Amino acid sequence: MKKVSSKIPLVAIVMPMKYGNSSLIARGISEYMKLNHPWRIYLDDHGDAADSPFDLDSKNLQGVICRNTTQKLVDYCKKSKIPLISMLDSQSFEGVSESVFDNVGMGHSAAEYLIEKGARSIGYYNFKNESWANMRKEGFLEALKLCKKSYSLLEVEYFSQVPTNWLIKQEENLIEWFSTLAKPASILCCNDFAARIATNACLKYSIPVPEEISILGMNNELSRCELSYPQISSVNPNPERVGYNAAYLLDKQMHEKELPTLRIVSDSIGVVERRSTEFNLIDDPRVAKALNFIHEHATRGITVDDVCKYAGASRSLLERRFRKELNRTPQSQIRMVQVEKAKQLLRETNWTLDQIAENLGYEHSEYLSVVFKRITGNSPGKYRKENAV
């Protein structure tokens, strides 16, 4: 059997894959390798070597990239003269180059996004004993102060091993805090785990999201954001770029001697908007209630009469109020929500138009085509061709 060339460096990636976005960081490392030098990879996907670095003794490594860096690993790599790149954004180590998220920038851009939404009050839900969360708070407060906006804070201690009673207490604390905020309120949560706690609390206590409380997370972890009800909007921290930059730094250290310690901070991409922040500043409670009903049930063949019944208003009254608040009718709102869902299905699935029409509550796909073209200006077929994933 032909041996792998010893000229191809062996690199250890020490990164617990259970951490949010670890797979996307790994993709960024892979992209760098594709465009530059091939590496042989030893993947420590539990991150054990951070605490037990001597497990790496037998590997004959040329470099290490680590997400859960410890002083033990730093000392081991220095003693063994192995280049090390850290991706730990909560602590720096002397002499160790870093590729990290821009936590301050994430908090700043999230605050700007919420300010533009126009909520009457804005708050930040923080894990006060986590340095990365405090950096995000710093950016959040900086943006609000620049815009001369007031804010409210709820700060709690986070435990890595979360007990059940802690989660229950958090829900109670959140509901009490929400009761003090002018509605509609917008809440920035320090990460998507915190955002899930907030959305679950609202669901448990029947607080409409996003009509009364809109919730924004950070990290854009798909498992947490898209498996929540409602789905959670979140700041995308650009994990692929963090991984790519980590690989770039390691490559330089493996090929160039006596480099200075470098720190690359990757800009976030922005907010990935989902249902939890899709709100309009609505003064009329009946219209707000109707909008929530339409969003949740528009694909189930509902009629305007169904909306009126849920909102507790006559058809003529609700139509007048919709025109005043949104400059459109309840029927138009139903069609808009249906078309947005149709666009998603056209982009992300291979369903036929008949299947999509049935899913959206249309008896005939031809009528869906007419509605779709009237609202978007394109036929469903043309939209799919230009936008398919």
Whether 262 and 315 map to the same domain: the answer is no
Whether 76 and 139 map to the same domain: the answer is no
Q: Is 273 part of any domain?
A: no
Q: Is 343 part of any domain?
A: yes
Residue 389 pLDDT: 58
DSSP state of 119: -
Whether 97 and 107 map to the same domain: the answer is no
Task: Tell how strand 10-14 and strand 40-44 pair up.
Answer: parallel
Q: Is 275 part of any domain?
A: no
Whether 123 and 56 map to the same domain: the answer is no
Whether 55 and 86 map to the same domain: the answer is yes
42 has which bridge partners?
A: 12
Question: Three-state SS for 87?
Answer: coil
Q: Copy the structure tokens of residue 24.
A: 């996307």
Residues, the chain, total? 389
Domain count, the chain: 3
Q: Copy the structure tokens of residue 269.
A: 């991409």
CATH number, domain with residue 72? 3.40.50.2300
pTM: 0.79
Full DSSP string of 44-75: ETT-GGGT-GGGGGGG--SEEEESS--HHHHH
Q: Is 157 part of any domain?
A: yes
The single residue listed with the structure tokens 């620049």 is 146
Q: Copy the structure tokens of residue 289.
A: 């209630």
Whether 112 and 203 map to the same domain: the answer is yes
Alpha helices in 118-179 (DSSP H): 131-146, 164-178
Question: Three-state SS for 178?
Answer: helix
Q: Is 178 part of any domain?
A: yes
Q: Is 123 part of any domain?
A: yes
Q: Is 276 part of any domain?
A: no
Q: What is the pLDDT of residues 329-356, one digit of tens each?
A: 999 999 988 998 899 899 888 999 999 9
CATH number, domain with residue 375? 1.10.10.60
Whether 37 and 130 map to the same domain: the answer is no
* Residues in the chain where the model's pLDDT stays below 70: 1-6, 280-281, 389
Whether 187 and 247 map to the same domain: the answer is no
Q: Is 3 part of any domain?
A: no
Q: Which domain holds residue 294?
A: 285-387
Whether 111 and 158 map to the same domain: the answer is yes
Whether 20 and 108 map to the same domain: the answer is no
Whether 113 and 61 map to the same domain: the answer is no
The Cα angle at residue 190 between residues 231 and 123, in degrees rounded to 5: 85
Whether 118 and 215 map to the same domain: the answer is yes
> Pick from 49, 54, 43: which is nearest to 12 by CA?
43
